[in-house]
Homo-oligomer: A and B are copies of this chain.
Amino acid sequence: MLVTVDSRERVRAPLSRQQVLAGAVRYVDEHRLDALSMHKLGATLGVKAMSLYRHVASKDDLLDGIVERLWSEIPIDPPDGDWRQGIRHLAGALRDLVHRHPHAAPLLNSRQTIQERPLRICDALLRIMRDGGVPEQCAVALLRTIFVYGIGYALAELSIPAQPNRDAEDEVTRIRRVTNLLTPQASDNLVRTALLVCDSCDMTAQFDIGLDLMIRGLDAYLDSVSVDAAATQN
């Protein structure tokens, strides 16, 4: 018996590479990265494992595609404002990205390919900094730092096991939770350091302090250069 195709259902809308990648990101977000397999990903897309190879060359290609999707969530052009605002915005966007995809984020640093998206983002910010009178060498150095900081800081935050309701947590449970992460014979002092470094109550404020450090550093450099210039001019 021939099953005629019903026009209101076709057969099924065919998958696309982007759909596969989107499915993969969703899957990794929900389960962990190591749980991602072609078989299971196919299942969530209503398709057998091998069908995915129509849209993806290999699992490696799939992972690269995930990274590409992640980068695409960062806007290329920073909002209006001077380079300081642009830098702050980028750093925040990177941190948010990692928070949005905690399980997929490690891929950002570990795939050994250069993605075009981050280069475009660099390009846009470099232009703004050049217009703001920042020497190129410094601009590049700051930019590199920001990328690494935004992503790395957020990844480090994730090392701390998620807490149901951190805000309502009292001092005792907070200390005990951190203590549990260490070997039992850790000194009190080490626990104090752990609390300080890994569990500041307001990680966002801490993030901004670090960010300020770098921007302030560049500002200080610019000042010293302009003072030098003025001095040699006299």
Contact A141 B210 (CB under 8 A): yes
Across the interface, A123 reaches (CB within 8 A) one of B109, B144, B193, B217, namely: B193
Chain B's closest residue to A209 (CB) is: B141
How many copies of the chain does the oligomer comprise? 2
Chain B's closest residue to A197 (CB) is: B122
Chain B's closest residue to A138 (CB) is: B209
Query: Is A216 an interface position by the 8 A CB rule?
Result: yes
State whether A152 and B109 are in contact (beta carbons under 8 Å apart), knowing that A140-B197, A189-B123 are contacts in the complex: yes
Query: Is A165 an interface position by the 8 A CB rule?
Result: no
Across the interface, A151 reaches (CB within 8 A) one of B152, B200, B220, namely: B152
Across the interface, A214 reaches (CB within 8 A) one of B147, B153, B158, B217, namely: B217
Query: Is A4 an interface position by the 8 A CB rule?
Result: no
Chain B's closest residue to A223 (CB) is: B220
Q: Mark A104-119, 1 if CB is under 8 A from B, else 0.
A: 0010011111101001
Closest approach, in angstroms, between the C-beta of A88 and any C-beta of chain B? 14
Query: Is A183 an interface position by the 8 A CB rule?
Result: yes
Closest approach, in angstroms, between the C-beta of A225 and any C-beta of chain B? 12
Contact B214 A116 (CB under 8 A): no
Please, which residues of chain B bring their CB within 8 A of the CB of A183? 116
Not counting A114-B159, A116-B183, A145-B145, a sample of 4 additional A-B residue pairs whose C-beta atoms are within 8 angstroms of each other reads A113-B159, A114-B181, A114-B198, A119-B198
